[in-house]
Chain A
Amino acid sequence: MAQPGLDKRTQTKVEDQSSLKGTLASVFLLGFFLIITWVGVFLLFVNRF
């Protein structure tokens, strides 16, 4: 039982080592934050006289 599980884990590990999908997700979260705050203040500008 333990043996195949371990194999699977090693496999994922090798596969994940070169992955930067977390980085991509992180920078896009950052990007969305920049957009939300900017749009927020832009709307304030538009709504004020």
Chain B
Amino acid sequence: MSSFTEKIKKVDPRDAKLGMAHFYVAFIGLFIGGMAGLLQTLVRSGQYTLPAGIGYYQLLTLHGVVLALVMTTYFIMGFQLVAVSRTAGTLSNKQRTTAWIGFWLMTIGTVMAAVMILLNEASVLYTFYAPLQAHALFYVGLTLVIAGSWLGSAAIIMAYVAWRKQNPGQPSPLLTFMALVNTLMWVVATIGVASTVLFQLLPWSLGIVERVDVAVSRTLFWYFGHPLVYFWLLPAYMAWYVVVPKIIGGKIFSDSLARLSFILFLLFSIPVGFHHQLMEPGIDAAWKFLQVVLTFLVIIPSLMTAFSLFATFETFGRSKGATGLFGWLKELPWGDARFLIPFIGMLSFIPGGAGGIINASNQMNQVVHNTIWVTGHFHLTVATAVILTFFGISYWLIPHLTGRTLTKAMNKLAILQGVLWAIGMTFMSGAMHAAGLLGAPRRSAFSEYGGAAQAAEWIPYQIAQAVGGSILFIAIILVLYIFINLAFFAPKGEEEFPVGEAANLAEKAPMVLENWKLWLGIVVLLIAFAYTIPFIDLIENAPIGSKGYKLW
């Protein structure tokens, strides 16, 4: 048994079961949300109307909640739990039980929210901006999802603390360190959304209070909303930094720099929510600009990441004898879906990041704010860079956890899936970016706007979006087919959980990077600096609050 574990480090079956539970929900969510997305693009092409009874905005709420909130959170929780189990050792019974309770809380909450959406009691989109008022059970459901995720987070924190106790003076395993950083960021960030849901929206929807402060609620939401996108991104970065080097047979460019970039994400992901509120009337322009500056700081760790990844690829290629400026590209294992799918994700993050810098550029946001450009943007970041990486992870992680293998046939299908995704997204996101620059709004059903000439210009782009959306849906069907194969039908065997080694093992990561009092202290200071005064301003100068509206 021990020689067996030496040979291939396996996640303990009990932790594997915990991870798989998360993945089942995530992939069911992918199917439902993907289906909703397909129907939306078809409606918006103007060529298709929804069967009686289903509202466009009901569908849009479902798409956003199920994919942006549920699918991502489940996948990330599952992945981080098994990554910690793999690198810091099997979870203790207490840790595992905590995570299971978290899983069930999240699941009860998800079902509650989903039922309210299906009953058309909560067509408020996944951002649920007041004073549109959903059914109280929708908010209860969201609260349970957050509370559940806190228990999963607690399990990861406990596992980290236990490892550090057993290994005093040692830097924690890189994947565990990264999972911890993302977990800490999540806990600090979700305080904002939990506050608005619990203290504002829930009492208001129950009729305990009559009015809600809209600007405060939005500010609390976006305090959470931006770190949310980094919560999605960091697990992809975990795979890019640690897993992909091992898959290609190379080394992690620098363990310490990888940790440093994660610390920078922890510090600068949160005090930046105003860059989603640049067009709002209630926030002073100077405070907006301050948060724009902080937003630009969070670009730096991504610049570091880009260098590290290219360097990993080049070093590997040159070790195989590649010459010339770009000869190393040829040495990369293009036929391996575990590499190719995340690699397409990395590429998509280049235009994704470029769009993000534009969005965050203060007054330049007027060009694109709430146009469908924004939808195009985050379908490159979260719905390509992140999701393709999650698919790439699944192609080895699911068989690893179920004791099966990724066969050659499935690998081929996975590559086809990735290529289809790239093509579909180029159509859909490209058309969204272009139409957005012309002024086409996001989150809107098909409309000719009374025959306006400008609105007519948008329609060809909307048809291109439907073409892209259809290709993407075919890719989703392939993903689900592969997932079911890997979970239930693939041949029994051992699939590796690849964990890379640093190129320079002699270089020990500085222990200051594990000083959480220091980093969390700075996090709190930065948040206080960026938010205290404008938040007090919002409350002190608040207009009369809003009663609830149900306008769908």
Q: Do chains A and B touch in the complex (CB under 8 A)?
A: yes
Q: Which residues of A contact B (CB under 8 A)?
A: 12-13, 16-23, 25-27, 30, 33-34, 37-38, 41-42, 44-45, 48
Chain B CB within 10 A, most for which of A41, A42, A45 = A41
Alpha-carbon gap, A38 to B361, bound state (A)? 9
How many A-B residue pairs have C-beta atoms within 8 angstroms? Tell me: 73
Contact A19 B318 (CB under 8 A): yes
Does B206 touch A at the CB level, under 8 Å?
no
Does B307 touch A at the CB level, under 8 Å?
yes
Chain A CB within 10 A, most for which of B311, B313, B327, B366 = B311
Alpha-carbon gap, A2 to B444, bound state (A)? 68
Majority secondary structure, A binding face: helix
Contact A38 B325 (CB under 8 A): no
Name the interface size band of chain B.
20 to 34
Alpha-carbon gap, A23 to B310, bound state (A)? 5
Which residues 422-464 of B sit at the A interface, judged by CB distance below 8 A? Answer: 437
Does B358 touch A at the CB level, under 8 Å?
yes
Does B363 touch A at the CB level, under 8 Å?
yes
Alpha-carbon gap, A31 to B450, bound state (A)? 43
Majority secondary structure, B binding face: helix
Alpha-carbon gap, A21 to B323, bound state (A)? 11
Over the window 403-414 of chain B, the binary record of Cβ atoms lying under 8 Å from chain A Cβ atoms (1 yes, 0 no) is: 000000000000
CB distance from B279 to the nearest CB of A (A): 13
Q: Which of chain A's residues has its CB closest to B303's CB?
A: A27
Contacts of A20 in B (CB 8 A): 310-311, 314-315
CB pairs A–B below 8 angstroms (18 shown) = A13-B321, A16-B318, A16-B323, A17-B315, A20-B311, A22-B329, A26-B314, A26-B326, A27-B310, A34-B354, A37-B358, A38-B354, A41-B358, A41-B368, A41-B437, A42-B361, A44-B437, A48-B367
Contact B311 A23 (CB under 8 A): yes
Alpha-carbon gap, A25 to B310, bound state (A)? 10
Does B322 touch A at the CB level, under 8 Å?
yes
